[in-house]
Each structure stands twice: as structure tokens, then as C-alpha cells.
């Protein structure tokens, strides 16, 4: 029991936050609670604190919209939050699509899809291309380009306000991740993930690796959705510095040798440089 | 076996070309889709909504206006609705706007896509100046135009007697009855849709259309001579001179020429 808890505690916490956030948003619509109103694009906490998606605001800016004060305050709060705790914490701890893609990744491991074909046909840098493209289309057409096709808002808004055909988008992402590309949506395509990767490059909370404990079992690399960020495993003691790390902490809990742990950026740096 | 040498530079150039190709294809499909969904003009937006072009830029699709609406009037466009995804709209025949005096949907908008100042008179919120659309009467199917007595839309209108009035006309067919024809006054109508909801015909004979779709424009050429204020429209008129060259040939020749007559 203790090992079960040890091996899945962060996963449990992540699902718990993801689902409670959904429930709180849903309750605002269904039962009129006002703890968290709106959705991931923009919301209101306790009817006072505004929260807004910085990437949506960026697209609005590209489209040439006038940004209101409320929106800017919301963007500021959200941006500072993710800047401190790691940009892609949004991806693994908040975004509901993460549940779909994690399910696809799990099934992919169980079915052994990767054993049949290991080669991944696409680059992880694709998300930055999509990010740039979204801003270009926003500017050219005067709309918020990604917000019009975003499966994230589709699913999230769908759960709060009614799903419509949104389930089809989820099915497509699930099948894409399962059969076409490993961690395809979150790891390669999603421009919101790309945006938060850029933001997360500066964050304070990091996963750190200590080489002396590592036994090269590579469980962390198997389970990591962005395994390129763990390039140092077994080679040198270093923290994960890439913004592409989602701080999901799966690597920490699957590691039986205590080689991976959360750390604060500054301290981790001191350790490596021996200061 | 001879191994084929592919230089890094070739690979690099190929990769760049590939990325450019995929980006172009993706961009094409993406913008085509966006173009398609934003082309639907027949959407009715919440009160205070800014111009549709700006609305699409500004609305962040958070649904706070939908939550604020006490009558569940406002809907968010879902995938499959073929409307700009996530933007608020309403269908008056299902649930019209009940024109709350405190307009709860407008102040909650975090982005200003719903503009408070457009529904404010004398520093107070005033739903009566809202402009969601305009009621249009299909006089062919409206039974009041047939001579059957019905004033459902007139009675349902929250601006009773102002936005819709009843015009009496003699019914020549019977000689002793009156037509009671509803007339919409475009400058007062807010497009709330209560009339459309109330209409008794199978498919509503009075319905709300967005103002840009519902209204024509006479332009500056035509002025009501009997209306002093109407001449004010000419203040901003621009002079446009057109010159037509007069044909130098004799008039009879035009009949003999083999050019098409039309």
C-alpha cells in the first residue's frame, strides 16, 4: 500500500487538482457557486480576482484588439504564477486534455505500439511553428486563431457549458497520440504548451537529478512525456532546466532509487557548481 | 555495400523545406476553417456587444456572460454549431433576451467585448438603448395582415407601443372590420426577441435579424423634403461628379449601327 502511494502520489494530486478545477467551474454554471467562474480562457475567483489566459491575450494583441484592464490584470496574475512554478505546470496539473493524452500514452505502453515502430516522424519543435503560425493567422485575419480551433477550450468549455461535437476532437487527439505520434498533441503540436514552455524556461521549481543515486533503470524516461528533458539521467547531476518539462513528477515517483526530486532552481544550481 | 552519403546541409535544407510545406498546408486549412465559421452573419449577440469584427477579436470565450444571464438566454457556440466557436449568442424563438434592467451579462465581461458604455444613458445602465438586432415582419405570413385579430407581438414587446405600434387600416373585403397591423420602429427596437418568442404562427412571422443584415441605406442622394432634420444628413455628404461623354455621331446612326441594343 505504501509503495502504491509512493509510486502514484503526484499522479493522484494531479488528477485531484485537474478534476476539482473542472468541478468548480462546472458548479458555477450548474449550481451557481462563485468560487471559480468562467473557464480556462478567462475566469473570476470569488467574484473578485480575474484570471486570464496569457496566450489568448497574445493572440488578441496580434489580432489588433484593445486589451481591457481586467484582462491585463488576469494575464499578469496567471503569467507570474506559471513563471514561478513552471510554465507547463498548466499542462500536467490543470489542462483536462492531459487526462486524454495520458490515457493514450498509457495504452500505448500497454499495447507496445512503440516496440513495433520506434521512429517518431515529427519534431518536438513543431509546437513553436504552430505558435508562430497562430499569431500570423491572428494578425492576418483579425481573429484569435487558436481560440477558434483549440481542443483544450473545446473540452473544457464543453464540460462546463455543453460538449457538442467536442468529443470528436478528443477522440481524434486520443487516436493520434495512440497510433500516430507518441505524446503527439501535448508534446509536438499544442501551441499553448509551446507558449508555456517558453514561459517555463525561467521558472524556479525544477526536477533535479542526482547521478550518484541513479541505477540506470530508465523507468523515468519511459514514463516521461517529454523524455528529451531528462537527457542528463545517469550522466551527471543536474536539474531539468528545459521549459518543456511539465513538472508532472511522474519521474520522481517511478524512481525507486531517489535519484530525482523537486528542488528550487537556485539551490540546485549551487549544488552543481559546488558553491 | 556502399553507404550513401547525405550531407547535413542537405538534410537541413530538406527539413526547412518540409517544415515550410507543412506550415503552409496547416495554415491554409486553419485559415479556411476560421474564414468559414466567422462568415456566419446571422448571429445575435448579447446586449452591448461591440461591432462583430471587433467582437471576434476581443471576446475571450470565457462564458461569464452566459453564467450571469438569469434566463439561460445566452449560449456558447459548441463544435458542430457552425458558429464562431465559444462565442455567446442567443436564439430568440427558444429563449429571448428578457431585458433585465441591471443587465447582469454586460459588466461581467472581462475584455470589453460587451461594452458597458453602449448600454448606458446618464451614467446609468439602460437596457432600452441596447441594440442586439431588429425585428422584421413578414407581412405575407403575419395573420394580422390577413385581417385575423392578433397583437401577440405588440403585447409581448417590453417597449410596448414604442418599438411596435399597431396601425389601423380599413378592411375593404368586409367593409366593416379593421386590419390591426403591427409596425416595428427601427430606432426604438432593441432586438430582444420577445415578439419573435410570442408570435403565434407556426414559424415566427416577426423575427430578429442583426441590424447590418436587416437594414438598407438610402444614401445621401435622397432627402425627405418634408422633414427639416433629414437635411442634416447632407452635412457630411461628398460631392461626386460623373462625366458622360456625348456621342458625336448623329442620332440616326445609332439605329443603324450593329451594336447590341439594350
Q: Which structural domains are found in chain B, ordered by start?
A: 42-131 (3.30.70.20), 133-217 (3.30.70.20)
How many beta-carbon pairs under 8 angstroms link A with B?
A: 142
Instruction: Name the domain boundary from A176, A199, A222.
Output: A199
Residue A272 lies in a domain: no
pLDDT at B20 over 50: yes
Instruction: Name the domain boundary from A199, A226, A247.
Output: A199
Distance from the A115 Cα atom to the nearest Cα atom in chain B, whole angstroms: 26
> A247's torsion region: left (phi>0), alpha (psi -120 to 50) or beta?
left
pLDDT of residue A267: 53
* Structural domain that includes position A215: 204-264
d(CA A50, CA A56): 14
Residue of A157, A160, A172, A190 to mutate, testing the B interface (most B Cβ within 10 Å of its Cβ): A157
Question: Domain check: are A70 and A112 in the same one?
Answer: yes
pLDDT of residue A230: 82
Band of the pLDDT at A275, cuts 50, 70, 90?
very low
pLDDT of residue B49: 87
Question: Domain check: are A191 and A215 in the same one?
Answer: no
pLDDT at B33 over 60: yes
Q: Any CB–CB contact under 8 A between B35 and chain A?
A: yes
Residue A111 lies in a domain: yes
pLDDT at B205 over 90: yes
Contact B97, B193 (CB under 8 A): yes
Question: Domain check: are A144 and A20 in the same one?
Answer: yes
Question: Domain check: are A21 and A143 in the same one?
Answer: yes
The chain B residue lying nearest A144, using CA atoms, is: B57
Question: Domain check: are A159 and A233 in the same one?
Answer: no
Distance from the B208 Cα atom to the nearest Cα atom in chain A, whole angstroms: 25
Question: Domain check: are A165 and A250 in the same one?
Answer: no
Share of chain A above pLDDT 70, in %: 94
Question: Domain check: are A37 and A126 in the same one?
Answer: yes
Residue A131 lies in a domain: yes
Question: Domain check: are A167 and A48 in the same one?
Answer: yes
Residues of A within 8 A of B64 (CB-CB) are 37-38, 42-44
Band of the pLDDT at B137, cuts 50, 70, 90?
very high
Residue A54 lies in a domain: yes
Residues of B within 8 A of A27 (CB-CB) are none
Q: Any CB–CB contact under 8 A between B26 and chain A?
A: yes
Instruction: Name the domain boundary from A156, A181, A199.
Output: A199
Residue A273 lies in a domain: no
pLDDT of residue B6: 67
d(CA A54, CA A51): 9
Q: What does the pLDDT average to over A86-94?
A: 86
Q: How big is chain B, counted in residues?
A: 262
Residues of A within 8 A of B35 (CB-CB) are 141
Question: Domain check: are A138 and A53 in the same one?
Answer: yes
C-alpha cell at A21: 478545477
pLDDT of residue B95: 92
The chain B residue lying nearest A126, using CA atoms, is: B19
Question: Domain check: are A121 and A243 in the same one?
Answer: no
C-alpha cell at A219: 523507468
Residues of A within 8 A of B86 (CB-CB) are 41, 147-148, 153-154, 157
Contact A29, B63 (CB under 8 A): yes
pLDDT at B57 over 50: yes
Distance from the B33 Cα atom to the nearest Cα atom in chain A, whole angstroms: 9
Q: Any CB–CB contact under 8 A between B102 and chain A?
A: no
Q: Any CB–CB contact under 8 A between B32 and chain A?
A: no
**E strands within chain A?**
36-39, 42-45, 49-52, 205-209, 238-239, 260-264
Question: Domain check: are A134 and A217 in the same one?
Answer: no
The closest CB to that of B76, out of A57, A65, A161, belongs to A161
Residue of A41, A67, A73 to mutate, testing the B interface (most B Cβ within 10 Å of its Cβ): A41
pLDDT of residue A179: 81
Band of the pLDDT at A1, cuts 50, 70, 90?
low
Q: Any CB–CB contact under 8 A between B81 and chain A?
A: yes
Instruction: Report pLDDT digits (tens) over B210-234.
Output: 988 888 888 778 888 888 888 887 7
Q: What does the pLDDT average to over B197-214?
A: 91
pLDDT at A4 over 90: no
Average pLDDT of chain B, as a whole number: 85
- Count of domains observed in chain A: 2
Average pLDDT of chain A, as a whole number: 82
List, in order, residues 6 or more apart from A244 with CB less than 8 Å away. A88, A124, A197, A200, A226, A228, A229
Q: Any CB–CB contact under 8 A between B82 and chain A?
A: no
Question: Domain check: are A183 and A222 in the same one?
Answer: no
Of A213-227, B66-80, B175-189, B234-248, where does mean pLDDT reach its minimum? Answer: B234-248
Residue A252 lies in a domain: yes
Contact B44, B193 (CB under 8 A): yes
Contact A249, A262 (CB under 8 A): yes
Amino acid at each position: 500500500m505504501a509503495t502504491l502511494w509512493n509510486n502514484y502520489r503526484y499522479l493522484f494530486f494531479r488528477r485531484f487538482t485537474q478534476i476539482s478545477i473542472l468541478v468548480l467551474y462546472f458548479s458555477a454554471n450548474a449550481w451557481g457557486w462563485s468560487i471559480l467562474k468562467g473557464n480556462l480562457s478567462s475566469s473570476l475567483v470569488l467574484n473578485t480576482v480575474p484570471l486570464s489566459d496569457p496566450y489568448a491575450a497574445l493572440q488578441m494583441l496580434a489580432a489588433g484588439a484593445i486589451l481591457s484592464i481586467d484582462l491585463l490584470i488576469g494575464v499578469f496574475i496567471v503569467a507570474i504564477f506559471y513563471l514561478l512554478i513552471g510554465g507547463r505546470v498548466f499542462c500536467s496539473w490543470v489542462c483536462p486534455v492531459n487526462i486524454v493524452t495520458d490515457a493514450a500514452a498509457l495504452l500505448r505502453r500497454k499495447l507496445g505500439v512503440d516496440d513495433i515502430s520506434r521512429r517518431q516522424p515529427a519534431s518536438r519543435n513543431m509546437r513553436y511553428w504552430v505558435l508562430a503560425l497562430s499569431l500570423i493567422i491572428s494578425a492576418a485575419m483579425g481573429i484569435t486563431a487558436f481560440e477558434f480551433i483549440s481542443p483544450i477550450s473545446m473540452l473544457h468549455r464543453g464540460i462546463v457549458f455543453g460538449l457538442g461535437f467536442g468529443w470528436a476532437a478528443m477522440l481524434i487527439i486520443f487516436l493520434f497520440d495512440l497510433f500516430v505520434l507518441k505524446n503527439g498533441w501535448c508534446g509536438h503540436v499544442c501551441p499553448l504548451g509551446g507558449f508555456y514552455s517558453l514561459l517555463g524556461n525561467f521558472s524556479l521549481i525544477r526536477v533535479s537529478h542526482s547521478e550518484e543515486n541513479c541505477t540506470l533503470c530508465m523507468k523515468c524516461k519511459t514514463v516521461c512525456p517529454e523524455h528529451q528533458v531528462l537527457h542528463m539521467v545517469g550522466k551527471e547531476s543536474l536539474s531539468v532546466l528545459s521549459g518543456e518539462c511539465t513538472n508532472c513528477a511522474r519521474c520522481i515517483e517511478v524512481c525507486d532509487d531517489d535519484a530525482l526530486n523537486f528542488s528550487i532552481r537556485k539551490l540546485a544550481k549551487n549544488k552543481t557548481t559546488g558553491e | 555495400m556502399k553507404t550513401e552519403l547525405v550531407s547535413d546541409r542537405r538534410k537541413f535544407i530538406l527539413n526547412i523545406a518540409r517544415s515550410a510545406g507543412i506550415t503552409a498546408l496547416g495554415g491554409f486549412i486553419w485559415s479556411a476553417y476560421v474564414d468559414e465559421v466567422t462568415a456566419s452573419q446571422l448571429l445575435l449577440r448579447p446586449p452591448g456587444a461591440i461591432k462583430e469584427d471587433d467582437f471576434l477579436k476581443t471576446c475571450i470565450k470565457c462564458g461569464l456572460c452566459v453564467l450571469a444571464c438569469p434566463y439561460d438566454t445566452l449560449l456558447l457556440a459548441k463544435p458542430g454549431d457552425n458558429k464562431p466557436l465559444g462565442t455567446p449568442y442567443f436564439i430568440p424563438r427558444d429563449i429571448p433576451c428578457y431585458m433585465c434592467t441591471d443587465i447582469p451579462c454586460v459588466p461581467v465581461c472581462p475584455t470589453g467585448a460587451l461594452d458597458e458604455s453602449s448600454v448606458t444613458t446618464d451614467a446609468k445602465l439602460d437596457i432600452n438603448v441596447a441594440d442586439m438586432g431588429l425585428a422584421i415582419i413578414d407581412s405575407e405570413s403575419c395573420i394580422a395582415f390577413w385581417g385575423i385579430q392578433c397583437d401577440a407581438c405588440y403585447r409581448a414587446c417590453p417597449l410596448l407601443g414604442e418599438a411596435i405600434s399597431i396601425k389601423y387600416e380599413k378592411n375593404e373585403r368586409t367593409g366593416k372590420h379593421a386590419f390591426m397591423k403591427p409596425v416595428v420602429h427601427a430606432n426604438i427596437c432593441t432586438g430582444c426577441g420577445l415578439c419573435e418568442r410570442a408570435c403565434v404562427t407556426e414559424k415566427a412571422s416577426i423575427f430578429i435579424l442583426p441590424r447590418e443584415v436587416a437594414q438598407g441605406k438610402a444614401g445621401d442622394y435622397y432627402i425627405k423634403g418634408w422633414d427639416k432634420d433629414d437635411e442634416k444628413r447632407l452635412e457630411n455628404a461628398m460631392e461626386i461628379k460623373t462625366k458622360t461623354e456625348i456621342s458625336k455621331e448623329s442620332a440616326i446612326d445609332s439605329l443603324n449601327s450593329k451594336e447590341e441594343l439594350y
